[in-house]
Amino acid sequence: MRLLLTTSQGIEDLAKKEVERLFESKEIKVSVEEKPFGVEGRLIAEVEESFYTDEKGKKREFNPATFLNENSRLLHRVIVEIASLKFKGIESQEPEKALKEIYNFVYSLPIENYVKITESFAVRPFRKGEHEFTSVDIAKTVGSAIYDRLSRYGKPKVNLDHPSVIFRAELIDDTFFLGIDTTGDSSLHKRSWRVYDHPAHLKASIANAMIELAELDGGSVIDPMCGSGTILIELALKGYEGRIIGIEKYKKHLRGARMNALAAGVLGKIEFIQGDATKLTQYVDSVDFAISNLPYGLKIGKKSLIPKLYMDFFSQLSKVLEKRGVFLTTEKRAIEEAFAENGFRILHHRLVGHGGLRVHLYIIQ
Ligand code: SAM
- Cα separation of 248 and 200, whole Å? 13
pLDDT band at 323 (very low <50, low <70, confident <90, very high): very high
With 70 as the cut, is the pLDDT of residue 204 above it? Answer: yes
* Section 261-282 average pLDDT: 98
At 12-28, the pLDDT tens digits run 999 999 999 999 999 99
Q: Phi and psi dihedrals of 79, rounded to 5?
A: -120, 125
Pocket lining: 248 vs ligand 1, CB cutoff 6 Å: yes
- Cα separation of 57 and 336, whole Å? 59
At residue 279, the pLDDT reads 98
At residue 301, the pLDDT reads 57
Q: DSSP class of residue 213? A: H
For 2-181, CATH gives 3.30.2130.30
Residue ranges per structural domain of the chain: 2-181, 204-364
Rounded (5°) CA angle 273-213-170 = 105
With 90 as the cut, is the pLDDT of residue 147 above it? Answer: yes
* C-beta neighbour count of 305 within 10 angstroms: 11
Q: Which residues of 337-349 are buried (b: 16+ CB within 10 A; e: fewer)?
A: ebbeebebeeeee
pLDDT band at 299 (very low <50, low <70, confident <90, very high): low
- Write the CB contacts of 228 (distance below 8 Å, at least 6 apart in sequence): 194, 196, 197, 198, 201, 253, 256, 257, 260
With 70 as the cut, is the pLDDT of residue 207 above it? Answer: yes
pLDDT band at 45 (very low <50, low <70, confident <90, very high): very high
At 213-265, the pLDDT tens digits run 999 999 999 999 999 999 999 999 999 999 999 999 999 999 999 999 999 99
At residue 355, the pLDDT reads 86
Q: Phi and psi dihedrals of 60, rounded to 5?
A: -130, 155
Contact of 255 with 328, CB cutoff 8 Å: no
- Chain-wide mean pLDDT for the chain? 96
* Assigned superfamily of 204-364: Vaccinia Virus protein VP39 (3.40.50.150)
With 60 as the cut, is the pLDDT of residue 164 above it? Answer: yes
Shortest-distance Cα residue to atom 13 of ligand 1: 227
Which is more confident, 299 or 133? 133
Pocket lining: 329 vs ligand 1, CB cutoff 6 Å: no
- Cα separation of 209 and 327, whole Å? 11
Pocket lining: 276 vs ligand 1, CB cutoff 6 Å: yes
Residue from 196, 249, 280 whose mutation best tests the ligand 1 pocket (most atoms within 8 A of CB): 249
Choose among 50, 72, 69, 70: nearest CA to 60: 50
Shortest-distance Cα residue to atom 3 of ligand 1: 201
